[in-house]
Chains A and B, each alone.
Chain A
Amino acid sequence: MTTSQPHIELRDVGKRFGGVQAVSGVSLRIERGTIHALVGENGAGKSTLGKMIAGVHRPDAGEMRVDGRLVRYSSPREALADGVTIIAQELALVPQRSVIENVFLGNAGVAKSAGSLRDQRRRYGELQDLAGYAVPPDVRISSLRVADQQKVEILKALAREARLIVMDEPTAALTAEETARLFEVVRGLRDRGTSIVFVSHFLDEVLSLVDTVSIMRDGKLVRTRPAVEETSESLVTGMLGRSLDTSFPPKVPPAPSAPVVLSVRDLSASGLVEDVSFDVRAGEIVGLAGLVGSGRSEIARALFGADTKSSGDVSIGGDRIDVRSPRDGVRAGIALLPEDRKDQGLLMQRSILHNITLPHLGRVSRAGVVSRGRERRAALDLISRIGIRASGPMAAVSTLSGGNQQKVLFAKWLFGGPRLLIADEPTRGVDVGAKRAIYELIHSLAAEGVSVLVISSELEEVLGLAHRVLVLRSGRLVAEYDHEEMSEERVMHSIFATDQSSTSGTSS
């Protein structure tokens, strides 16, 4: 390991997409065997920079050196030949294939060993040892949760003998525990000499993990400093150019007389959720806490009609509803912000405008004909209210930064004016400022009488937002805490099957 020569050096690198200068004049050194964070607001150019390093995008200005050698990658394959790869923000595995197939997909190093499956298995075992975790090799990618897909991506990078891995928001979809484990892996990689470029919006997390932090704003580099010299406040100030209150907005609990909007009785679904009953009142924000696989998302999907629910009674505003399809859900005034925006949420090739109005096109059309003026006005209103940054309402969603895509998803489901908003990971991938804006949005919706169900892998988010928390374990409701009772400790207790938790306030 030479200390003098950086692993990667960028000089005045720039990239423009049509009218948007995504990155400009960035000069940066990434030292070998370090973890280097990129932080910045949504659309600041982090992913674009990462993609240029990994050969996905070709810079249109400046130069880049790897190991002191001038490079001009025109494809990810060329970058990979130098041991540089990226785990993209939007994961790129082949959903219909198995884990092991994905790990070795297009991998020249393995092709040499003449397709011997046994060799592959052995190598897969080695990779697992290297990474320090196991993923069953023969399951299909589509049946894995995002956290596990993330792990597969890392195995894939390891299989390609990457020496520099760009990780674009790898923890956006992970629980605290999974994040901690991922960090172990990342530190282990660093200690063995791999360099990591780490993009994240979780600033505390960043500071605990990385060696160096670079802040980006509007495509430019603000500064690069050792992580020990930064605090999360200093990062926020650097990112936004001003300071920001990152605490949760104050909670305003609904009036005790507020009517029940959602009433769920004995809901069983997907072979996982069993006999769940609860109520949500108008203006109330209820958090669903639990491990991944505890049935949180399944309840959300069953209420909305995304999966056919097996049994139980659901009523909205006192009327029993029989939701058999998302269409019924939409008609009943339910909005579901799905956890996976790319596969379940957005039409990536279509414009922001068309995405926003899709579920409730009827509102801006007459006799089946879309009134374009009305549609545009309604969408522009939401775009500015939610603060979506894009070249205009007709920009294709695929050209937006990850956080802005998430905001489009939000706009889409606010457009209909829902009675019940179910938000599954509402702030996945959004920056600190936008996060706060989304929290305020959720609060203001509640203040208008909308009932909200919040699901999040960040317990902090659930506790910070919700007036009441329901804890799920293995598909059953095991505890309920109201505003006064809820604490991280108690909820954690209930989440992780410790015995006393089931007696600490079981649901009504």
Chain B
Amino acid sequence: MTRTDDHPAVEVEPVGMIERIRLSGTSRLRISAVREYGIVFAFAAMFVTLSVTSPVFLTSANLLNVLNQSSDVGIIAVAGTLVVIAGGFDLSVGATYAVGGVVAAQLTPHIGVFGSLLAGVLVGLGFGLANGAIVTVGRINPFIGTLASQIMIRGFALVLTGGALISVTNTSFATLGQGTVFTVRYAVIVWLVFGCILAYILGRTTFGRYVYAVGGNAEAARLSGVRVGLVRGATFALSGLAAGLAGIVAASRVSTGQADTGVGLELSAIAAIVIGGTSILGGEGAVWRTVLGVLLITMIGNGFNLLDVNPTYQQIFQGTIILVAVGIDAFARRSRR
């Protein structure tokens, strides 16, 4: 290949590049830090504030409680992160969450605990695949497509239950949601393990790269040989699977399948994703951001309880946090000019 050292114009430049790498190491970090690590600062600030103001906050029981409360939204949001990065949007997860739990609860008497829990997850995966098909093959805007499928899936859950609560008498059904290992709930472990798996998929695998590529510039991705539809569809499938998984965890926690549970869960998930700093425009973001976003939101709720503030203010505060998160992002983008 070209021996670059023959050619002065090329020879000079790599040297310049290395110089610039050195230069950029320090000062560059500082400037982009606010935008890049805003969620870390916010998380740390909230954590410190609550530690100082509430004696209970920093106890391990309370922290485990925060993790446990985060697990449903968390499982859904980490998968939702991939959907958003790929340029999509999944509004159907709250309904899928309900169906997953209902199916698991209903099937337990027939096929046993393990089979029925698995079935709950698979039903979620199925709806996820359907969403993927709607958005990619059907070329329907993901916002509208999953809004419609959400209504259908919720209806499906109602048809299955006939509006009644499905209680499970088999006690081992509750293990997933209530069992602990060294005082840590299985639910928390499921969440964290699932998050790690998705972080690995997104950060280290070729599929993860394609997810960023598809959301960043679909046409450029296509012209690079990436199967855009397949990748997008797969993120929806993962999101459905996650909703099913969160659904069985929740059903197991209360030993009940409910058709009307998880209303608005999709919005909490999206809020966590956005607060974490993943761009709703697609192409940028990370799973760890979402994990911190979920924890921040849960901590706010937890803090309000601990400090005994009227819970109605909590929503106002959470809404403000979302605005601030998006605002910082927009401001940082502008000041980067």
Interface residues of A (CB under 8 A from B): 17-20, 56-58, 240, 242, 244, 304, 306, 325-327, 329-331, 336, 338, 343-350, 354, 357-359, 361-362, 365, 368-370, 372, 383-392, 412, 433-434, 436-437, 440-441, 444-445, 448
Q: How far is the CB of A24 from chain B (nearest CB, A)?
A: 13
B4 interfacial contact with A, CB 8 Å: yes
Q: Which of A20, A242, A331, A359 contacts B8 (CB 8 A)?
A: A242
Q: Which of A19, A242, A345, A384 contacts B4 (CB 8 A)?
A: A384
CB pair B206 A18 closer than 8 Å: no
Interface residues of B (CB under 8 A from A): 1-2, 4, 7-10, 13-14, 16-17, 20-21, 23-28, 31-32, 204-207, 209-210, 212-213, 216-217, 219-227, 283-284, 336-337
13 further contact pairs, Cβ within 8 A, besides A350-B212, A358-B226, A391-B20 = A19-B25, A244-B9, A304-B223, A306-B222, A325-B225, A344-B223, A347-B220, A369-B206, A383-B17, A384-B13, A391-B23, A433-B9, A440-B2
CB pair A347 B212 closer than 8 Å: yes
Q: Which of A244, A358, A392, A437 contacts B221 (CB 8 A)?
A: A358
CB pair B225 A359 closer than 8 Å: yes
Q: How far is the CB of A431 from chain B (nearest CB, A)?
A: 9
A362 CB contacts on chain B under 8 angstroms? 206
Q: Check A343/B227 contact, CB under 8 A, given A370-B204, A370-B206, A385-B10.
A: no
A338 — nearest CB in chain B belongs to which residue? Answer: B223
CB pair A358 B213 closer than 8 Å: yes
B23 CB contacts on chain A under 8 angstroms? 19-20, 391
B209 CB contacts on chain A under 8 angstroms? 354, 357-358, 361, 370
CB pair B17 A384 closer than 8 Å: yes
Q: Check A444/B2 contact, CB under 8 A, given A387-B13, A391-B23.
A: yes
B9 CB contacts on chain A under 8 angstroms? 240, 244, 387, 433-434, 436-437
Instruction: Give CA–CA (A412, B209) in the complex, Å.
Output: 15
CB pair B225 A19 closer than 8 Å: no
B227 CB contacts on chain A under 8 angstroms? 325, 327
A336 CB contacts on chain B under 8 angstroms? 223
Q: How far is the CB of A344 from chain B (nearest CB, A)?
A: 5
A440 CB contacts on chain B under 8 angstroms? 2, 7
Q: Check A388/B1 contact, CB under 8 A, given A330-B225, A358-B224.
A: no
CB pair B2 A347 closer than 8 Å: no
Q: How far is the CB of B3 from chain A (nearest CB, A)?
A: 8
B7 CB contacts on chain A under 8 angstroms? 436-437, 440
A52 — nearest CB in chain B belongs to which residue? Answer: B337
Q: How far is the CB of B233 from chain A (nearest CB, A)?
A: 15
Chain B's interface: helix, strand, loop or mixed, by majority?
helix
User: Can you report 26 residue pairs joining A to B where beta carbons are below 8 Å apart?
Assistant: A19-B20, A326-B223, A338-B223, A343-B217, A345-B220, A349-B284, A350-B283, A354-B209, A354-B212, A358-B209, A361-B210, A365-B206, A368-B207, A369-B204, A370-B206, A372-B204, A383-B17, A387-B4, A387-B13, A387-B14, A388-B17, A389-B17, A391-B23, A434-B9, A436-B9, A440-B2
A326 CB contacts on chain B under 8 angstroms? 222-225
CB pair A331 B219 closer than 8 Å: no
A357 — nearest CB in chain B belongs to which residue? Answer: B209
Q: How far is the CB of A390 from chain B (nearest CB, A)?
A: 6
Q: How many residue pairs between the two chains, A and B, have CB atoms under 8 Å in the bound complex?
A: 146
CB pair A58 B10 closer than 8 Å: no
A18 — nearest CB in chain B belongs to which residue? Answer: B28
B225 CB contacts on chain A under 8 angstroms? 325-327, 329-331, 359
B212 — nearest CB in chain A belongs to which residue? Answer: A350
Instruction: Give CA–CA (A189, B192) in the complex, Å.
Output: 64
Q: Which of B24, B31, B206, B217 contacts A347 (CB 8 A)?
A: B217
A55 — nearest CB in chain B belongs to which residue? Answer: B337
Q: Check A56/B337 contact, CB under 8 A, given A244-B9, A346-B217.
A: yes
A331 — nearest CB in chain B belongs to which residue? Answer: B225
A306 — nearest CB in chain B belongs to which residue? Answer: B223
B337 — nearest CB in chain A belongs to which residue? Answer: A57
Q: How far is the CB of B25 from chain A (nearest CB, A)?
A: 7
Q: Which of B17, B204, B205, B222 contacts A392 (CB 8 A)?
A: B17
Instruction: Give CA–CA (A478, B232) in the complex, Å.
Output: 43
CB pair B223 A20 closer than 8 Å: no
Instruction: Give CA–CA (A57, B23) in the complex, Å.
Output: 22
A412 CB contacts on chain B under 8 angstroms? 224
CB pair B14 A384 closer than 8 Å: yes
B10 CB contacts on chain A under 8 angstroms? 384-387, 437
CB pair A350 B213 closer than 8 Å: yes
Q: Which of A325, A338, A370, A392 contacts B21 (CB 8 A)?
A: A392
Q: How far is the CB of B2 from chain A (nearest CB, A)?
A: 4
B32 — nearest CB in chain A belongs to which residue? Answer: A18
For the complex of A and B, the 3 pairs showing the least CB-CB separation, nearest first, are A19-B24, A18-B28, A433-B9
Q: How far is the CB of A96 from chain B (nearest CB, A)?
A: 14
A443 — nearest CB in chain B belongs to which residue? Answer: B2
A390 CB contacts on chain B under 8 angstroms? 17, 20
Q: Which of B16, B28, B213, B224 contacts A330 (CB 8 A)?
A: B224
Instruction: Give CA–CA (A329, B223) in the complex, Å.
Output: 9
CB pair A348 B223 closer than 8 Å: no
Instruction: Give CA–CA (A357, B227) in the complex, Å.
Output: 16
Instruction: Give CA–CA (A348, B227) in the complex, Å.
Output: 19
Q: How far is the CB of B75 from chain A (nearest CB, A)?
A: 23
B21 CB contacts on chain A under 8 angstroms? 391-392
Q: How far is the CB of A316 from chain B (nearest CB, A)?
A: 15
A370 CB contacts on chain B under 8 angstroms? 204-206, 209
CB pair A343 B206 closer than 8 Å: no
Instruction: Give CA–CA (A330, B1) in the complex, Å.
Output: 21
CB pair A389 B16 closer than 8 Å: yes
Instruction: Give CA–CA (A370, B284) in the complex, Å.
Output: 18
Q: How far is the CB of B200 from chain A (nearest CB, A)?
A: 8
Interface centre among A304, A386, A391, A444 (most CB of B within 10 A): A391
